[in-house]
Amino acid sequence: MTQVNDVRDAHVETTPAPTVSPWQPLSQPVFRMLWIATVVSNVGSWMSDVGINWSMLSLSADPLDIALVQAASSLPMFLFALPSGVMADIVDRRKYLLFSQLWVFIAAAGLAVLSFTGHVTPAVLLVTTFLLSVGAAMSSPPFQAVVPDLVSKPELGAAVALNSLGVNISRAIGPALGGFLLSLAGPWMVFALNALSVVGVAWVLWRWRPAPTVQRLPPEHFFSAVRSGIRYVHAAPVLRNVLVRTVAFFVFGSAGWALLPLVARRELGLGPAGYGVMLACIGLGAIAGAILLPRLRQRLNADRLMVAASLTFCPHHAGAGVRTPLLAAEPV
């Protein structure tokens, strides 16, 4: 005899995932200290950018030299971001980050000493800018990779958003503060403060003791890992499209940033403080964009939002280019 059991619908109660506050990752001590130290360090970097651009403008009247500063600043990220990401997966990330901070400190302190003693030349500025950007390229991938080690999994999204907020905050504060200090004490001061701003990050990393990771697979060799990364991007249409769009935007969009100090001084008659305020306005615009982004994403998908942002950027960029010759033609 077969016994048939009554099957009743089981009511399974589902508990909604707890809402994570945007500020909750700051309750993690190491993340909080590293976030504050990174914001301070980024402020120092933006101050240094103002000092480097204005120093080049004071040393050379050639627009090519002014534009080469932007090239020296951007090229290392293009050349070394992928190798640095591979290194972050192979070696101890904490030690690698400490090495990158030491690199930046030496380059920034060296530039401060050369500026204070009056030995800065256009070539020195270009080489130092390149070295500082190499340090930034070395540190960027491992900084992003260590975030999951500092916060819990539910807090990861909020932690990434806080890091983006910190970048935009420093972008709004650093240039204005750098321009003010540049007009007050000279470029050596902003270079020295940039070197000192790295110390806080290095101190937090030195004190941080991450949990040991279990290596389940044999470590991958450097060059094979680089080839794997390139193959992965090539085989992923989404990533490939993002890279193509990013390159297409920055190749032309960066021209305005490269020549902005020239426009500020020659065409608008501004000093270093005014130039710093102009750069700070870009940072404030980034903060405003970050605030508006969630609402815009409710109405537009990522592709349309990218097109809309580019179309918004283009007329302002073109308008600045048209307005500059008109300003130059006006009688003084």
Tell me the pLDDT tens digit for each residue of 59-100: 987 888 888 998 999 899 888 888 888 888 888 889 999 999
Superfamily holding 26-208+221-299: MFS general substrate transporter like domains (1.20.1250.20)
Q: What is the pLDDT of residues 130-188, one digit of tens each?
A: 999 999 999 998 998 899 989 998 888 889 888 988 998 998 899 999 999 998 999 99
Ranges 99-108, 195-204, 304-313: which has the least confidence: 304-313
Nearest to 133 by CA among 86, 168, 84: 84
Which residue has better confidence, 19 or 106? 106
The residue type of 224 is S
Domain-wise residue ranges, the chain? 26-208+221-299
Q: What average pLDDT score do residues 127-131 get?
A: 96
